[in-house]
Chains A and B, each alone.
Chain A
Amino acid sequence: MIESATIDKQTSHSDLVLEDVSYLNRSIRIWKEVKFKSTDKNIRTEKMFRGSLVLISLSVLVLAIAFMLTLVVQSIPSIKTLGIKFLFGKTWDPVTNTFGAIPFLLGTLITSFMALFISIPFSFGVAILLGEYFPKGWFSDFMKNAIELIAAVPSVIYGFWGLFVLVPLVRSIEIKLGVAPYGIGLFTSSLILALMIIPYAATLGREMIRMVPSSLKEAAYSLGATRLDVIRTIIFPYAKSGLFAGVLLSLGRALGETMAVTMLIGNTSLMPTNIFSPGNTMASVIANEFTEAASTVYLSALIELGLVLFLVTVVINLIGKKIIQKFSVG
């Protein structure tokens, strides 16, 4: 309880006149009653709030599960009708109800891995540049922004540009090589894909390289190592698993990429014969044929492709994340 003596001692600089002590004491009593009344309501609200936090998190979990379930359930007609032949069939012919996934598995693998091989040197180059040579400064900021820009450009714009610039270019190359001058095809898709996935391995790689403890690097320098030596013998081994995780992330991105690939790959469901063939990836055939799928099995086969794509991409991403986790903790 505030004693009147204490209040008298307070010289008031505010407008408030504190001479009426009894008023203040009464106010304090009211405050205390009011204080506790609000508290009852708050205790109930608190319970509801905690409950809703749990509920919402649960719904995120349920969402992910429902996703997988939907894909599986919708694939069942295809699995039941086609069975394992689906995964090994080389022919995709909706007219005769033959659905074999190999053309698309091949298309996906070829484009993704070609893109990966083309992009890795560039990704690692950027990672080393930003992680080791230029961690700060205007050049670093410029490169960082540029790399983020590559990732920010919508894939449909890459595809559009690819159609009008890359395709004629590749066509002229194909003419020179004496191959059928489609212009579109697996190779063209791989090129644009390569550009698009550079940022993923680059950004992650840069962070992993920066995490290398400077004490290790300094120890090497003090032994007379050159920068390249340090990169080769200290940084690279240390950051190896992290760099690999970056590669996985880039790969995951490449596997799931739809629009740019759809626009440049030629939409052919035949088995690709060489890297210049037109073809389809799992993502692009879904994009191209989903709305045309008339029969249940047709649609279900496309969903099954989606399921395979989903599983592969998610697993690769999860492995990549696990590696990053281990690296950051250990």
Chain B
Amino acid sequence: MDANVTYRLRKSYAFKGIVILLSVTCIVPLLFILGYIVKEGVTKINWELLVNLPKPVGEAGGGIANALAGSILIVLIAAVIAIPFGVMSGIYLNEHRNNRLSRWTAIAVDVLQGTPSIVVGIVIYFWLVKPLKTFSAISGSVALAIMMLPIVIRSTEETLKLLPSTLKEAGLALGLPYHKVILKIILPCGIGGVVSGIILAIARIAGETAPLLFTAFGNPFFSVNVLKPMESLPHLVYYYAMSAYDDWHNLAWGAALVLLIWVLLLNIITKITTRKWKIQF
């Protein structure tokens, strides 16, 4: 009996060791990759990188200013589009749990969430790029907004679901109209969760390239015209990394580090917002 127990205990400890080993092993490539990006990119980051435009091959200098501005603009517009639609849908789904529209909309949200990013890109190509006969930043923003939508809707719905129902009742019993109860009581009480959902959605799409390949496309020049093609940070990394030129590779390393920092910052902000705004009742 004793030998059996010892054997089983040994197996149990060994298993724990294996589990820890497996887990720590996943982290190793991650750290290695991050370290490599930092190593390659840090020497390339300087003021010039951030304010210059990409130069043709062979010329020194060159920067990613167009991609920086482009990314910020495209993501901003995407957020502006996605937030009202996402929050309102989230409110609706929370208020009406049982009717047909909300059940089908919930499925639609799942479908949108599962759609591969490249497919989003090609659909928007047919909706906005072909009719307007040009690639455009706005079409890129629409594609990114569609990818943000499920995240914003879900997190709004989940946040509002946590609020006690007596909150809404108290508001209605005061003779307040429905929209005031929702917008001035329910939404403010859940604003922390809603905002962190929004920031999470932004963090997820900030690094996306595939939806932009056939929508915003890319642009070697500095542009803030949303109706014309616009460069973005992830796209620049892709384009220049795949090129054959060392100069452009260098640019891509710098851009990759900037992109990494940007995405990490957004993720950290998400975490801070989520923790800070835990709803207390």
Contact = CB atoms under 8 A, between A and B. Distances in A.
From A224, A226, A318, residue with most partner B Cβ within 10 Å: A226
Interface stretch (B50-58, B90-98, B190-198): B90-98
B276 interface: no
A152 B36 contact: no
A295 to B, nearest CB: 15
B103 to A, nearest CB: 10
A287 interface: yes
A116 interface: no
Interface in A52-77: 52-54, 56-61, 63-65, 67-68, 70-71, 74
Contacts of B242: 163, 263
Contacts of B209: 154-156, 258-259
A159 B260 contact: no
Interface string B231-259: 00010011001100000000011001001
A4 to B, nearest CB: 27
Nearest to A145: B271
Interface string A7-27: 000000000000000000000
Binding site of B, secondary structure by majority: helix, strand, loop or mixed?
A: helix
B129 to A, nearest CB: 11
A46 B114 contact: no
Nearest to A149: B30
B104 A61 contact: yes
A70 B237 contact: no
B230 interface: no
Nearest to A316: B114
A95 interface: no
Interface string A44-56: 0110111011101
Contacts of B208: 154
Contacts of A113: none
B15 to A, nearest CB: 5
Interface string A221-265: 000101111010000000000000000000010011111000100
Interface string B86-124: 001101110100000110110111111111111100110
Nearest to B30: A150
A125 B114 contact: no
B25 A67 contact: no
Nearest to B102: A57
Interface in B200-215: 203, 206-210, 213-214
A157 B26 contact: no
Contacts of B206: 154
A122 B25 contact: yes
From A46, A57, A126, A302, residue with most partner B Cβ within 10 Å: A57
A60 B178 CA distance: 22
A146 interface: yes
Given A57-B105, A125-B23, A226-B9, A67 B115 contact: yes
A306 B36 contact: no
B256 A318 contact: no
A52 to B, nearest CB: 7
A114 interface: no
Contacts of B42: none
A152 B264 contact: yes
Contact of A70 (B18, B29, B104, B127): B127
B72 interface: no
Contacts of A65: 108
A13 B241 CA distance: 73
Nearest to B264: A152
Contact of B115 (A74, A150, A224, A313): A313
Given A45-B179, A70-B123, A287 B260 contact: no
Given A63-B108, A71-B123, A125-B23, A318 B264 contact: no
A125 B178 contact: no
A321 interface: yes
A156 B237 contact: yes
A123 to B, nearest CB: 8
A27 to B, nearest CB: 19
A255 B238 CA distance: 20
Contact of B27 (A61, A146, A159, A252): A146
Contact of A42 (B29, B177, B252, B259): B177
Interface in A303-330: 303, 306, 309-310, 313-314, 316-318, 321
A258 B22 contact: no
Contact of A67 (B21, B95, B112, B267): B112
A302 B260 CA distance: 31
B185 interface: no
A150 B177 contact: no
22 contacts: A39-B175, A58-B101, A58-B105, A60-B112, A133-B16, A143-B27, A149-B267, A152-B267, A153-B30, A154-B208, A154-B263, A155-B209, A160-B237, A160-B241, A160-B252, A160-B256, A163-B241, A228-B11, A263-B241, A263-B242, A290-B214, A291-B213
Given A122-B25, A128-B19, A156-B209, 12 more contacts: A39-B177, A70-B127, A122-B23, A125-B26, A147-B26, A160-B256, A161-B36, A259-B234, A286-B122, A313-B116, A316-B114, A317-B110
Interface of A: 39, 42-43, 45-46, 48-50, 52-54, 56-61, 63-65, 67-68, 70-71, 74, 121-122, 124-126, 128-129, 133, 143, 146-150, 152-161, 163, 165, 195, 198, 224, 226-229, 231, 252, 255-259, 263, 283, 286-287, 290-291, 302-303, 306, 309-310, 313-314, 316-318, 321
